[in-house]
Structure 1
Amino acid sequence: MIMKNAALCPIPIYKDNMSKPFDEQAAMQHYLVCGTENCQKNGQFYCNSCHLPLCEQCRDEHKKSPNTKNHEIVIYRHHKHQLPMEICQDHPTRNKELFCRECSIPLCSKCSIMNEHKGHVFDDLEEIYADKFAAWQGEFSKIQKYFLPTTKGLKSDIEEDFTEIKNIMESIRISMKTEAESLKNLVDEVTSESIENTHIMEQSLLKMLKSQESTCDDYIKYLWKMSDEFQKYLSITNQTLLFTKTLKIQPIPETTKPVLPVFSASRFSKNDVTKLLGKANVPNKTPEKRKIQPMEAESAHTKPTEKQLEQSKEKSDVKQTLSLSSSVTKVREYSVPDVDRTCHVSVDESGRLWVSDDRGNLVQIDLQGNLLQKIQTGGGHGYHTATQDGDLIYTDRHKKVIYRITQDRKIAELKKTGDWRPISIHSSRINGDILVGMWKEREAKVTRYNKAGKEVQNIQKDNQGQKLYSEPHYITEDINGDICASNIDFYDGAVVVVNKSGHHRFSYTGQGSEFWPCGICTDVLGHILVCDDNSSSVHLLDQDGGFMSVILSPQQGIKRPRGVSVDDENNLRVGQWITNTVTVYKYLQ
């Protein structure tokens, strides 16, 4: 039984029967329970005066009761935290519940009428506590959601700079060695050519000298011949012959002295060699400050009342008034033609469904379940997604290509993924970016592309250098930009969530038994819905990874759910491994 006494029940009470067998109806829902005695409904509202969670029916009764009609009732997420009880030292039967402005101290109601506080102004201590609590909770939230992730991001950038500097310096050293080796090769080449040229020069000069030597030899032979001729004439006795014969000696042939080669040595200094080879230096410029993403402006802390909720409804602020239903209602069921199983479900802007099985069949059906088109693909799990423009993007893990199907049914190649196999994909509802789960030999990552297919981010490891993913077969994005991936591993499955900067936020590994996460999606309230193939159930998490409930289970006829998607009407569409049907549920109200 749940007590009405607010002092005895300041903490939210959750109905939780997870220890019971899975086939018990009680184990199917886990939610905040209404604080009214004997009421087991979902306590989605909160009375700040009684400090009790209330269901919708009890809220209405609370408003009608003369004793509580003036109480402040808000939706639960904006509830006021109850003031911790502190006994007054001077009046042990009283609790401190007032705050004296002049003395700046808390006190009890009896202290307030004492002479030392006469004429002083008092405030409700609970109001002050609630405001302070909200303020510090806001600061705590800033630390957790902005300052810590941003600083860790800066640290990650610094660590990347460490690696980059080491890589750059090693590259410079390699370049220096390459330049030196290149210069050495050039020196060897020039030296070899120069030496070869000396041989040519030498041969030319020697050839010239050889020619002159030959000329001299020929002239010497001529002189010996002339000498014999003169001697012959000198020995004859016939004087008449002496006077009639004239002998003349030819002049000595001219020869030239060779011009000897000389070597002109160059004078090189160390600076000359440095100029030839180049050197490393740090540019003389002011270091660029690391960019710190500004903290998004947060709205002022408000505490909407029941009256404000009614006004909000009148303004059709659906998101403001949406909350979890106490039960899940089946709305309708589609029988999808030309597929054997429904492994993944995508919903486009008009509410039409794209459904795929594991054999490569991808079909589109209208709101009545009629077949609109069918294409043959490489198959897989969460490999298609509808875009904000009404197109469909899908991956082919075998061809390693991302394709786009336009509304006029034209198929075009959007991006090749190189060595990586694209196995899951999601088109962001925030900015249109494309998130792709990738896999190759014992490696996995999530890559972000812009609308045009330009790669802008790769997420592979956490801040400790540990791998985040094994096989991210399904992927989606939360309303705050977190990237949520179902890491299918039948030995160690987990939902891995990183923020938009790629820093690991949390991993969800189920509720005790083996967890085989498959299809995953999010809703307008920031909830994360994920299929567990092992227990044939759909788990509901908050955006910080906290388990909230099992909203679908075998008790509702679910068996091996694989694909989930929430449409613009906040309907949950579920596809199952064993059938070609898509079932639609209402779980928000």
Structure 2
Amino acid sequence: MDTSMTHYRVRRCSVCPNDLEYLCASCPCDLCPHCKENHVQDLGTIDHRVVSFHETYLPVQEICLKHPDHLYRKICKWCDRTDCFHCKEHEQISLHAMRNKIKHQKERTSIHIITNEALLYRGVLMESIKIDVNICQNIFSFYHVDMLTNAQILKDLVRRVLRSFHFTQRCLNQKIKMKRYLSSAEIYEDTYEQTAIRLVHSLLNKKRTCLPKIHLAHHTSQLAMKELLEKRSVIDLLTQIQVTEKGKGRIENEHLLKLMPGPELHQSVTLPNSHGCFHMTSVTSNLFWASYIDNNIILSNTTGDTLYHLLDTPSDLLSGYGAHTVNSSNELIYIDKEYNIKKLSMDLKTTTTFLTRAQLKLRPQCIYWSLTTNELLVGMCKKKIEYVELSEESEKIHDYTWTGGVTRFNETGKLTQIIYGGDTGSELFKYPCKITENNNGDIVVSDWSTAVVVTDREGRHRFSYTGHPPGSKLQPRGICTDALSHILVCDDETETVQLLDKDGKFLLHLLIRPPGIIRPHNLNYDVATHRLWVGSEDINKVLVYKYITRQDAVIDQYQTTTIMESPNENPTQETETPQDRHECLLQLMSSPELQQSFTVKDVKSCYHISYFKLDLVWVSESCNLVLTNTTGSTEHHLTDIPVDTFSGLHSVNSEGELFFIDRDYNIKKLSNDLNTITIFAKQTDDPNWTPRSVYWSPSGGDLLVGLGKANPETGKISRYNRTGQQTQPRQHNNSDQEIYKDPKIITENNNGDIVVSDFDAVVVTERGGRHRFSYTGHPPGSPLKPRGVCTDAMSHILVCDNRSRTVHMLDENGQFLSYLLPKSQDLGAPSSLSYDANTHRLWLAAGSYKKYKVFVYKYMTLKDPPTDEEHPQDPEGFPLSN
């Protein structure tokens, strides 16, 4: 066979034209070595399992020990036996399969930490090490000079000491010789002198009394002491050079990670047979322990399957909030019914008592295992009885409050620390319901209905966070810390998740009534994937959010190389968007100015306004839709609209054609000459879904339609093209979570975001339908009753709040800016808004029943108006439209 003309197909990478070497088992993606690195480094795919392409085709020839005629299917690492297809008995009578999964997940977590943290930033670490080496060389050069100088001083001192030692020795030798000479002279005189005169003896006595005594020992001791002091000073100089242990080379997370502009929902987990989730503790990225509302603890995975069920938990409702934790060996530590602290082994078979109720003294409420110190933190409390005397005649009655503390135990169960009061002796804790630890060693406690109390590792009080703005009420529930040392806390008062820095400074509301949960009650941070798990007490769902990403310094090297290798391609120049142009030309006025107002004669109320053209607007109420001018006179009248309340039933396109919803819930179009009505889109086949609002998109020329469903109450947004065909139906966000209840009014921002006035919030999604944020009022968590909504040329979002009777102004990211129109008796309750893009004026309908008016406000002006020759302007300073 001639193979010269045979064609062979080489399997390529899905991202780039390189050859395939890796496969992703979690998503259908073929990868080359470089794209494989990018795939496992991305926090969105950090938990994907990437295997070698060649390893998937290597046959395994291991033989089953129990059935020698069959190959093994898997190996049990707990009993070291291989299993084949016929080993069903071994698989059914044990939990080895689940233990293998836990073991495998733990090993995968370690591999992810190595590949995604250590290997990813090896280049950054090498650069920092080079800088440290250069700095150390410069610093050590100064120390080297000092050491040489001090060494020379020490050498001179040693030489002086040796010289003095030799002098002392010579003096002692001379003294000994003198004594010997005098003794021999005296002996000689006694022996040979016969007379009574002893000249030598008398001469020596006279010299001894007349000559000063020389105390060699005293002088040498002073010299030795002086030299000793000088030597000690040299030693002190040498000891100033301190060598400290710096530990392993690492880089701070602040330089590697950063907050995203907004959290993104990654996935949703439904817990079966449950009405809520009090507390969560992750084992791996796919396995976690959760305590239910009935204080049962289960081991579940991300698909919602129950792998293990534990019933030995307290019956007290509040004890389930932080009643379990996981240590570094993945063993479950929990509070049992008798308020002992027990430990469940990793194989889920052996339960041992870690601490008894007698050892704890007080009743334990929450526990947390510190992975940095391998110690157990226990939050405890007791009742504090107080006597209250109602009157002088009545007897004293007793009442009680709670007082608590935090204790620390080591791995053997020995008490190492007790934290009860502050430096002034005041009580720090009342009812600790959750406890955790920050990266700097701070102990962070969620104190029931009071504050978030933070102490340092030694137990000294650092601060207490009581809510934002300062002085507002806080009801802390779930709490956790992340890799950036942020403190995250669930506030039951405002139904938000608040983000603080490590010093207790409020940063932002990370989540405000998240869709699918509404009331967040517990948090858990996954250090491997940097994702946040959020649970609710009322709903059996756990949502996983991604809100941390890597720094921009870690870029796609393949894309950079591709750009650098294409010098012939002309890069496209960035064009100035209309949004940027308006932000450069326009600015907000200090306060809005009322231009004119009028009363619509043929309507009793005003539910929605659509700007038609100069001095003409469409105004709708129940069963009526009229075209009116600025004097209030009716130019055209339509009655074929449904009986609805505060819904955007009509919209006008760029050609002046009116889109509206009729009584049969069909979408019709009225021509700009007001003579011809055609059906644009008929009612859907499902009668449960009815159109509630319409909006024509000036950017794409599409029609956005809000649909509602009564049972259950939910909504969705659909997009229709110019021919009336549905092009992009949207009901949920990217994780199938309902984000709309009743989409009453729809509009669109300059950046393509879809802004919807819903039942109790303003819901904003991207053009593709991914949920961005939900605005629920100011301050965050306060009730909101939205009505009319619109956007302006500066991408502001303006919404009427019927509850506070004000108009709120937000930026494009949902941040509250100001009350554009505060509450006013003359204005009444604002109900609808419309923005005129030509004159930059705001049309507002407000009032009460039968007393509605339409107000026209000017609230924008030009920053630096150009000359009349360049840009013609109207008399009030705005550019004339084309």
TM-score for the superposition, normalised by structure 1:
0.46
Structure (1/2) with the larger strand percentage: 2
Structure (1/2) with the larger helix percentage: 1
TM-score for the superposition, normalised by structure 2:
0.31
Q: Which has the larger radius of gyration?
A: 1
- RCO comparison, higher one (Cα < 8 Å, 6+): 1
